[in-house]
Structure 1
Amino acid sequence: MNHAITQKRWIIWFAITSLIILSNILVYALPIMSPLPNRVALGSLFDFILTIPIVTYILIIRKRYSLKYIFPVILAGYVAARFIIPNPYFESFSFITYILVAGEIAFLCLELYLFYKIARKLPAIIRSYKKYRLAYSSFSYASEKAVYDSVSENVVANVLLSECKLLYYALFSWRKKVYAGSDMFTYHKKTGSIAFYIMLIHATLIESIGFHYFLHQWNPIVAWILLILNIYATLFFLAEIQAIRLCPYVVTDKELILQVGLTKQLIVPFYNIESIHHYKGLLPSKMEQKQIFDAAVNEFIKEPAKLEIVLTEPMKATMLYGFQKTVTKVHINVDDERAFYDAIMKKVQERSSHE
């Protein structure tokens, strides 16, 4: 069973990694520390390619995600070490570079092989996508169904799908109309989610312009990396706005499709819905939150859920990049609460009468 990562774990991880990175920066930056022995670089390398990945594995990856995700962490640690450790110290341990490169090449070859398998089945995926796009208004859901009809679910497919969705919604969806119908329910019109993401875009652009100049004086490479990350973040926020607008909840004959922007998805067959009822608005405990699919968008002040769906059996919800979470309940808000409640009750009763 996959367990959600608590905010406390993220804070602990961030504090430990920040302390490791900052201490290594100060070792090489403070004049009082000079001169340093060459072997200090070996200690720094161990911090970045062993200590940080181990901390990440214990706090983030373990019992939640595939061990494959440790390789990008090691690579990111190595790249950070190259920027922080001055070249004269690093040259004595250049052999570590070759070991890491060999390991990453082997991992990359495996990923490229999986990518080749996806590309070879691209014509079949396109045919399936056209069929699903006629049946479902959501590009996100139709593309996912089309890919997994032809390719088994894996890390490469999950990442490629997430990136394709991001680029589509951020760059190519602005002329698309918002689908409407008795089986589709919007969930953002009564919230401040759009304004929330516009504020984040505004803050990111200001940070990019302001910090890029000052960082460029210290380290141009770090400045450009941060700029690229900020551009990616801006694209993500734009994509999230469009995905929220263009992906309403869909009630089909057999299932309820909950696509919450780019970041969360849960497809619930009606036979697996035990009940739907109006939620009292009490905050769930931390243990309960781990098993709840929170079908709510981010906004300035989060509103409590108005409806709760109780599942007959636990299900796995899909998060960004294919991460999963096992849930037993769904907390949900929709713009037309009464119509949504009636539609779900009708489908559940129909399924019960046929059994």
Structure 2
Amino acid sequence: MFKLVGKSSFIYFLCASLFVYLIDLVLVRSALYTEHNQILTIGFALDFVVVLPILLYFLIYRKINKSIISILPFALLGYFALQLFIPAKGQGTLDWVKYLLIPLELTFLSYEIYKLHQLITHFRRNHFNNAHPLETLRKSMEQSFPHSKIAPFLIHELSLLYYAIFAWRKKPYLQPDTAAFRYHTNSNWLITILILSKILLIEGACVHILFMQWSSIVAWILSIGNLYIILILVADYRAMCLNPILVSKQVIRLQYGLQLSSYIETTNIESVSVIASKQITKDRMNTSFIPLVVEPNLRIQLKNANLVIRLFGKRQLVDQIYLFVDNPHEFRNACLYFMEDDSRP
């Protein structure tokens, strides 16, 4: 979102918010507040509940195509901040703000329920036999929230929970009339995960004890961050186990754990090469995919850039894809067979 909005918009919003807060802070601690506490409390309430959320909308949210109704939670957050900001003598004046926010928050809740109903409707419409549930969810969320920048990240987090916790009894996802290729059996990714998890657990416990002497909040934030990284590693490996690469005449369903997800048309493939090591220059890094840690043994060169979904829902256009596959020569032969078959009259 930072790149989409621009650095200047964030700076303007932060500066404006800080300016409003400092002015209000000076006034609330002045003798003027003692004489005119009701009027000034109303002014402070307008700043926290109306002015700052509107600034957020015009400087940031509008540029990422979010509706104005999405600032209502920030108006509620402003009200809670106001409770801490206003002295006891002015708390009674805040009741009107509370009664004003109740219908607004009910409106926001109704809007969210409507969007949830819309999501469920799209999910049922998109779901069909042998469909992958997460692909159905992604398609449904894109239809329900077409301009949302948070939806891809939310889908990534749901995928992470699905593979790390709920998919242990699931079978690998296969489709008829496709050749399936695994890419986790012969790699060192499982060993890497076990080593990293051990390091994160042991050193994380030591760091937690050390930081508890200084700040318990920081210690718990670091520990939760370590657990989150371990969860990503486990979910990535489970996604590899359950999602072999599927090659068919028309398209290649390419999901490489949580690291990459895409559909590549065989007509868009220029070449498939078995390689001994990745051969890539720095200027091609932004248009290439390379798996984490493992040394790739395959390179897919595309004719035109293809959209892929990477970790945390990041979208990227790539024209080179490096992979590690258990049987690279068989994968290459299958791709060439379908490419040649597709070129036949």
Q: Tell me the TM-score normalised to structure 1 length.
A: 0.64
Pick from 135, 138, 142: which aligns with 2:130? Answer: 135
Residue 239 of structure 2 aligns with which residue? 243
Q: 1:306 aligned to 2:302?
A: no
Superposed CA offset, 1:14-34 (max 9, x none): xxxxxxxxxxxxxxxxxxxxx
Superposed CA offset, 1:182-239 (max 9, x none): 5221111111101111222222222332121221111111112222222222222221
Of 266-275 and 171-180, the range deviating more from structure 2: 171-180
In structure 2, C-alpha distance between the alignment counterparts of 1:166 and 1:260, rounded to whole Å: 14
2:157 is matched by which residue type in structure 1?
E
In structure 2, C-alpha distance between the alignment counterparts of 1:252 and 1:149, rounded to whole Å: 27
SS in 1 for 2:213: helix
Residue 194 of structure 2 aligns with which residue? 198
Pick from 116, 120, 123: which aligns with 1:119? Answer: 116
Q: 1:170 aligned to 2:157?
A: no
Residue 306 of structure 2 aligns with which residue? 315
In structure 2, C-alpha distance between the alignment counterparts of 1:307 and 1:243, rounded to whole Å: 20
1:216 is matched by which residue type in structure 2?
M
Of 109-118 and 244-253, the range deviating more from structure 2: 109-118
SS in 1 for 2:304: strand
Residue 81 of structure 1 aligns with which residue? none
Distance 1:254 1:151, change over 3 A: farther
Residue 214 of structure 1 aligns with which residue? 210
Q: CA deviation at 1:326?
A: 2.1
Distance 1:179 1:309, change over 3 A: same
SS in 1 for 2:301: strand
Residue 4 of structure 2 aligns with which residue? 66
Number of residue pairs the alignment of both structures matches: 269
In the alignment, is the contact (CA less than 8 A) between 2:271 and 2:301 conserved in 1?
Answer: yes
1:313 is matched by which residue type in structure 2?
N
2:260 is matched by which residue type in structure 1?
K
Q: 1:148 aligned to 2:86?
A: no
In structure 1, C-alpha distance between the alignment counterparts of 2:332 and 2:195, rounded to whole Å: 32
Point out where structure 1 has 5 or more consecutive residues left out of the alignment: 1-56, 77-90
In structure 2, C-alpha distance between the alignment counterparts of 1:70 and 1:196, rounded to whole Å: 41
Superposed CA offset, 1:221-278 (max 9, x none): 1112222222222222221121121111112442112111112223211121122233
In structure 1, C-alpha distance between the alignment counterparts of 2:114 and 2:147, rounded to whole Å: 12
Residue 282 of structure 2 aligns with which residue? 286
Residue 89 of structure 2 aligns with which residue? none
2:142 is matched by which residue type in structure 1?
Y
Pick from 333, 338, 341: which aligns with 2:332? Answer: 341
In structure 1, C-alpha distance between the alignment counterparts of 2:326 and 2:300, rounded to whole Å: 16
Of 211-220 and 316-325, the range deviating more from structure 2: 316-325
Identity %: 25
Residue 341 of structure 2 aligns with which residue? 350
In structure 1, C-alpha distance between the alignment counterparts of 2:235 and 2:12, rounded to whole Å: 29
Q: CA deviation at 1:71?
A: 9.0
In the alignment, is the contact (CA less than 8 A) between 2:288 and 2:318 conserved in 1?
Answer: yes
Residue 81 of structure 2 aligns with which residue? none
Superposed CA offset, 1:86-143 (max 9, x none): xxxxx88999x96997479755953887966641323224324641xx335x544343
In structure 1, C-alpha distance between the alignment counterparts of 2:27 and 2:159, rounded to whole Å: 41
In structure 2, C-alpha distance between the alignment counterparts of 1:127 and 1:150, rounded to whole Å: 13
Q: 1:187 aligned to 2:125?
A: no
SS in 2 for 1:166: helix
Pick from 219, 225, 229: which aligns with 2:225? Answer: 229
Whose Rg is larger? 2
Q: Greater relative contact order (Cα 8 A, min sep 6): structure 1 or 2?
A: 1
Q: Tell me the TM-score normalised to structure 2 length.
A: 0.65
What is the root-mean-square deviation of aligned Cα atoms in Å? Answer: 3.7
Q: CA deviation at 1:289?
A: 2.6
In structure 1, C-alpha distance between the alignment counterparts of 2:130 and 2:343, rounded to whole Å: 25
In the alignment, is the contact (CA less than 8 A) between 1:273 and 1:310 conserved in 2?
Answer: yes
Q: CA deviation at 1:286?
A: 0.8
1:349 is matched by which residue type in structure 2?
E
Distance 1:171 1:198, change over 3 A: same
Distance 1:72 1:263, change over 3 A: farther
Superposed CA offset, 1:20-67 (max 9, x none): xxxxxxxxxxxxxxxxxxxxxxxxxxxxxxxxxxxxx9xxx6xxx422
In structure 1, C-alpha distance between the alignment counterparts of 2:316 and 2:300, rounded to whole Å: 16
Pick from 110, 114, 137: which aligns with 2:70? Answer: 110
Distance 1:280 1:193, change over 3 A: closer
In structure 2, C-alpha distance between the alignment counterparts of 1:164 and 1:72, rounded to whole Å: 28
Distance 1:196 1:352, change over 3 A: same
In structure 2, C-alpha distance between the alignment counterparts of 1:317 and 1:238, rounded to whole Å: 22
1:191 is matched by which residue type in structure 2?
S
1:11-26 matched pairs, under 5 angstroms: none
